[in-house]
A and B are shown apart, each in its own frame.
Chain A
Amino acid sequence: MPSDAGQPQLRLHPMSWLFSLGSLLRQLLVPLIAVMIFGGADRELGQQLALGLFLLCVVLGIALWRQYWFRYGWSNGVLLISQGLVFRRVRHVEFSRIENISTQVTPLHRWLGVVSVQIETSSGGRPEAELQVLSTAALAELREAIQGSRAAPEDASALPAEAEHQLLRLPATELIRYGLIDNRGLFVVLAGMALLQQSGLLRLGWERFGTWLAQVPLPDLDALGPGGTAALLVISIVAAIVLLRLLSVAHALLRFWGFALTERDDGFRLSYGALTRRQLTLRRARIQALYQVQNLLHRAFGRCALHIDLAGGVLDDSESGGDSVRYLAPLCRPGQAQELAQRVFPQMAHDADDWQGLAPGARRRLTRRLGLIWSALLLVPGLWYLGHWGWLGLGLSLPLAALQAHMQVRYTRWVLTPEMLLLEQGWLRRTRVLLPRARVQALQLTTSPFDRRLRMASLLVDTAGAMQRPAFRLRYLDARQAADLQHALYRSDPVAPEAAAG
């Protein structure tokens, strides 16, 4: 057993310092740059370099110190991790509480034959423990220990059920579609800009661009006339859009290359990534809600996306790539989405006949509200730039508001089945939410003075992983129906049907 009298004995991979150096430097990047810029403005280059080198040595020292005192091990079904000498911290993580061992492999990891490991439990926020980095053999050993302890009480019956079967693959053509739909190109450009800005190259680039622009014979541009100028503008906008989409496609290909979703007996496993290969395990019991999302582009391509909310979802930026959703499937056909939904929440009815809409006055109220917003948006700049013609904005805002309100009301509906709350909302970006009643945490019915005058109410349904803010806020419900819904959800059977069945 790799621990002796409660003291873990195993060490990290000898090259671990390199990776902790990397993450330490990333944390220190902003303060370092600040020191360089503000602290070193009037210093000479040699001094700046010396300062940088000194800081690097300090950070390297910290990384080596951490690696030297880091120990891990396990005994009697408990994972032990001890860190530090001065501020010694020993952590005990019971194997039974471990929900997920997620791994991350960058090209550097691959080259050295190591893996970054995150141990996740159902407590929210940060991962419970990070092992940066282990050799692949050490990881296999750890996995075996954890899974071995789990399979033991259930005997051999658990083993054949462990067989995985594949639910979804995304070939390159689908990834290209995903890239075209997803607007991540903008994200890449912004990230690039930030990087350039930090390294000071952006200013240089602007200066170059300025001198280049000064050399362009502008009178030629004038000669094009207004039509020509407009054409040039349109061409450059189109070129920018095409470029952004191409970047999106490249980003999608890199991020989701070789995407595979497989089902195991107690959940799902995702693996994807071209450079950084990721593997995630999603236990079915942790999945709080499922979202089927379809925006305009999704509909044009006949696709949709499936997101999930996880209890204690560990979401750091590096994993989610800057957005706060967990994908079950970044892209799939609506038919496939329904099949997947059946697998996520089995033995539950996924549709019903008695869908309910919003309160009868909702359309009028929304029209008024949106009308106010649109008039404010259109009227102020309109009057400012166009003078009296700006009043036309008022005439424009009312039909706009009416259309939007009509569509929103039309595409919002909900129904309570014996096991689930189903909700559809959104007009341009349509979302269908599937929330098992057994996952509901707390309920809040709120009424504003306007609500009370029109006999309406909003119901907020909280789950353990509701990252997406407006997901469970049902607004403009009929007050009576909202109260009934609150009572019904409050009295739901707290035991999940699939748990009771299995």
Chain B
Amino acid sequence: MSAGTPTSFSAPEGSDAAQEASFKAVDPGVIPVWRSRNLIRLTVLAVVVGALAPLPLMGAVPDPARWPAAVLGLALLPAALWLCCWRWPQWRFRRLAYCIDDQGIWIRDGVFWRSESALPRIRLQHADVTQGPLERRWQVATLRLYTAGTRHTELRLPGLRDADARALRDRLLAEVAGDAV
């Protein structure tokens, strides 16, 4: 178990480089979708917290010793807003990519906790294209891929152009049908 020893099963040489090139980014239209979605979520959260927080804070506010913490909290709020609703969608967009090869589909996602999912086409049970109201507004769609597995029965690829998502779904499913015959 020494480090870096080549193993007996190593992947075909050079496949990585080829694959690297064939990863495709999704449509930038997904960025405003995420931004609005996070804004809505934060607003809901703020309303809930705002409705509940005054009760325990009522006694704390007059105490001058706690003012610095309160000021710091208020100062952090715009920073959080900027991070969640401005920067993070950009970062995620830069990471999100997919690749279709002869065997199936690869999806790369995540900013800090990154993931790279691989789904052999033959394992695909069915596929859906969904579009929420925000996605409709910016004309993108989410492709959902279902397997018979238990942990990752659903794999999502958001941010595809609507027509692309449909084409991709049809292509994947058609090839499954072709394999099965």
A residues sitting closer than 8 Å to B (CB atoms) are 124, 311, 354-360, 413, 416, 440-449, 452, 460, 462-467, 478, 480-481, 483-488, 490-491, 494
A454: min CB distance to chain B, Å: 12
In the complex, the answer to whether B3 meets A445 with C-beta atoms within 8 Å is no
What B residues does A466 contact at CB under 8 A? 149-151
B90: min CB distance to chain A, Å: 18
Which of chain A's residues has its CB closest to B179's CB?
A494
B28 proximal to A (CB < 8 A): no
In the complex, the answer to whether B119 meets A442 with C-beta atoms within 8 Å is yes
Which of chain A's residues has its CB closest to B121's CB?
A494
What B residues does A360 contact at CB under 8 A? 2-3
B94: min CB distance to chain A, Å: 16
In the complex, the answer to whether B3 meets A478 with C-beta atoms within 8 Å is yes
Binds A, one of B7-15, B29-37, B167-175: B7-15
CA distance A42 to B9 in the complex (A): 73
In the complex, the answer to whether A490 meets B104 with C-beta atoms within 8 Å is yes
B residues sitting closer than 8 Å to A (CB atoms) are 1-4, 7-12, 15-16, 103-104, 110, 112-120, 122-123, 147-152, 155
What A residues does B9 contact at CB under 8 A? 416, 484-485, 488
Question: Which of B1, B15, B148, B151 meets A460, CB within 8 Å?
Answer: B151
In the complex, the answer to whether B8 meets A462 with C-beta atoms within 8 Å is no
In the complex, the answer to whether B149 meets A441 with C-beta atoms within 8 Å is yes
In the complex, the answer to whether B149 meets A445 with C-beta atoms within 8 Å is no
Q: Taking A478-B4, A486-B118 as contacts, is the C-beta distance between A442 and B112 under 8 angstroms?
A: no
Question: Which of B10, B116, B147 meets A441, CB within 8 Å?
Answer: B147
In the complex, the answer to whether B7 meets A354 with C-beta atoms within 8 Å is yes
What A residues does B117 contact at CB under 8 A? 442-445
CA distance A356 to B149 in the complex (A): 26
Q: Taking A357-B1, A494-B122 as contacts, is the C-beta distance between A447 and B114 under 8 angstroms?
A: yes
What B residues does A358 contact at CB under 8 A? 1
Q: Taking A462-B147, A463-B149 as contacts, is the C-beta distance between A448 and B4 under 8 angstroms?
A: no
- Name the residue in A358, A465, A480, A490 with the highest tally of chain B Cβ atoms < 10 Å from its Cβ: A490
Would you mind naming 21 contact pairs between A and B with Cβ atoms under 8 Å apart?
A355-B1, A356-B7, A357-B1, A416-B8, A441-B119, A441-B149, A442-B117, A443-B119, A444-B152, A445-B117, A449-B112, A460-B151, A462-B147, A462-B151, A464-B149, A466-B149, A466-B151, A484-B9, A486-B118, A487-B118, A488-B9
Other contacts beyond A444-B115, A445-B115: 6, CB < 8 A: A357-B1, A446-B110, A452-B114, A462-B151, A464-B150, A487-B12
Which of chain A's residues has its CB closest to B15's CB?
A487
Nearest 7 A/B pairs, CB to CB = A357-B1, A441-B149, A487-B11, A462-B149, A464-B148, A445-B116, A443-B118
Question: Which of A124, A354, A465 meets B8, CB within 8 Å?
Answer: A354
In the complex, the answer to whether B113 meets A490 with C-beta atoms within 8 Å is no
CA distance A443 to B11 in the complex (A): 15
Which of chain B's residues has its CB closest to A360's CB?
B3
- Name the residue in A441, A460, A481, A491 with the highest tally of chain B Cβ atoms < 10 Å from its Cβ: A441
CA distance A416 to B155 in the complex (A): 25
What B residues does A491 contact at CB under 8 A? 11-12, 103
What A residues does B11 contact at CB under 8 A? 483-484, 487-488, 491
In the complex, the answer to whether A484 meets B103 with C-beta atoms within 8 Å is no
Which of chain B's residues has its CB closest to A312's CB?
B148
Question: Which of B103, B112, B116, B149 meets A448, CB within 8 Å?
Answer: B112
CA distance A357 to B2 in the complex (A): 8
B145: min CB distance to chain A, Å: 9
In the complex, the answer to whether A442 meets B155 with C-beta atoms within 8 Å is yes
CA distance A465 to B123 in the complex (A): 14
